Amino acid sequence: MERSQINSPISAIMELANLVSVPMCLNAVIKLKVLDTIWQDGSNNPLSAAEILSAVAVGPHADAENLQRILRLLTSYGVFNEHTGKYGSERRYSLTEVGKALATDENGLSYAPYILQHHQDAIMLAWPLVHEAVLDPSSEPFVKVHGELPYSYYGKYPEMNLLMQKAMSGVSVPFMKAFLDGYDGFQGVETLVDVGGTQGIV
C-alpha cells in the first residue's frame, strides 16, 4: 500500500508504530553497500536483489528475498525506483534522486554516514528516555544513559568520532558547493578562515 493511500486513523497509527523500520532499512542498505552497487559511478543500472547480493559478495547464506523486502519498503519512501515488466517477473531497482544522495560521489562523499551516525547504538539507547526529558529537563537522555555529553563520549571512541566527521563532511561539502555556486560575495577574497570548523572542510 502506498503511503498516500492511508485513509484511516488505524492505518496511520500502524504506520507510525512501524516508522522505525525506515531508518533501520536505510542503515541496512548502506552497510550492505547496495546503493553504491547500483550506482556504479553513475550507471544506475536496475539490479535485482540477487544481482546486488552477488555483486557485494556477502557470502553463501545471504537472502535475496529479505533484501527485496527492504528494497520495496524503501521504494515506497522514494529511495529506489522499482522496475518490472521489461525485465520479466523479477523486480529490479535503481536509485532515485534521494538514493543518489546516499551513494558515494567522485569525492568519496555521500549522505550515508549521516544516516549511520544518527543510528549508532550509543544514540539509539537514549531514545527510549525521551519522555524523561519532559519529567526532568536538567539532564538530557544521552547523558542519563552514558553519563556524559555526546561529543565527550565520541572523543573516547575513534570509530564514532570518524563517522561523525564523515557525516559532517558529507553534509557540509555539497551544501557549500551549492551555496558558492549562487553566491559571489567572496570575490576578491584571498584568505578565508573557518574558525572552529573541525577539519576546515567548509
Regarding whether 63 and 125 lie in a shared domain, the answer is no
Q: Is 94 helix (H, G, I), strand (E, B) or coil?
A: strand
User: End of a domain among 69, 101, 133?
Assistant: 101
pLDDT for res 202: 52
Give the pTM. 0.83
- Which pLDDT score, from 0 to 100, does residue 8 have? 87
The three-class DSSP label of residue 144 is helix
Residue-range definition of the domain harbouring residue 55: 3-101
Number of domains the chain is built from: 2
- Mean pLDDT of all residues in the chain? 89
Q: Please tell me the least confidently modeled range out of 66-70, 162-166, 185-189.
A: 185-189
Q: What is the pLDDT of residue 188?
A: 85
Residue 154 exposed, middle or buried by CB count within 10 Å (0-12, 13-18, 19+): buried
Q: How many CB atoms lie within 10 A of CB 131?
A: 9
Confidence of residue 26 (pLDDT cuts 50, 70, 90): very high
Residue with the larger pLDDT of the pair 150 and 201? 150
The pLDDT confidence band at residue 7, using thresholds 50, 70 and 90, is low
Look at residue 25 and tell me if it is in a domain. yes
pLDDT of residue 157: 93
- pLDDT tens digits, residue range 47-70? 999 999 999 977 888 999 999 999
Q: Which residues of 75-102 are buried (b: 16+ CB within 10 A; e: fewer)?
A: beeebbeeeeeeeeeebbbbbbeebbbb
Cα separation, 157 vs 82, in Å, equals 39
Looking at the fold, whether 123 and 96 belong to one and the same domain comes out as no
**Eight-state DSSP code of residue 47:** B
Closest CA to 34 of 61, 60, 68, 2: 68
Q: Where are the beta strands (DSSP E) in 42-85?
A: 80-85
Residue 197 has pLDDT above 70, yes or no: no
CA dihedral angle for residue 116, residue 122, residue 125, residue 126, rounded to 10 degrees = -100
So what's the pLDDT on residue 87?
A: 56
The answer to whether residues 78 and 139 belong to one domain is no
Which whole number is the average pLDDT over 117-145?
95
